[in-house]
Amino acid sequence: MKRGDLIRKVASSAKDAGVEWALVRQGSRHEVWRCGATLVTIPRHREINELTALAVERLLEAELGEGWWR
């Protein structure tokens, strides 16, 4: 999955759910984002492994609702 696609997907879902999606800090290899009260680390690679993207999606279930990525 493309990194930009993942970020746009989460941002759109967060907006629909009324939850804040904001960049907390940037590192050389990762970025830390906040979705509501949950911190999410996203790699700064163009392509993100599907398993990593799935882990991010499942981590955000508490904030965005069960099955939000489908």
Asked whether residue 36 is assigned to any structural domain, the reply reads yes
Model-level pTM? 0.90
Asked whether residue 70 is assigned to any structural domain, the reply reads no
> In the prediction, which pLDDT does 40 show?
96
> What is the domain-level CATH number for residue 31?
3.30.920
Structural domains of the chain, count = 1
Please tell me what DSSP assigns to residue 41.
E
Asked whether residue 69 is assigned to any structural domain, the reply reads no
| pLDDT tens digits, one per residue of 42-67 | 999 999 999 999 999 999 999 999 98
Asked whether residue 51 is assigned to any structural domain, the reply reads yes
> Which residues 6+ apart lie within 8 Å of 59 measured at CB?
38, 40
The mean pLDDT of 26-43, rounded to a whole number, is 96
d(CA 28, CA 23): 14
> In the prediction, which pLDDT does 18 show?
96
User: Which range marks the domain in which residue 40 is found?
Assistant: 3-64
Size of the chain, expressed as the number of residues it contains: 70
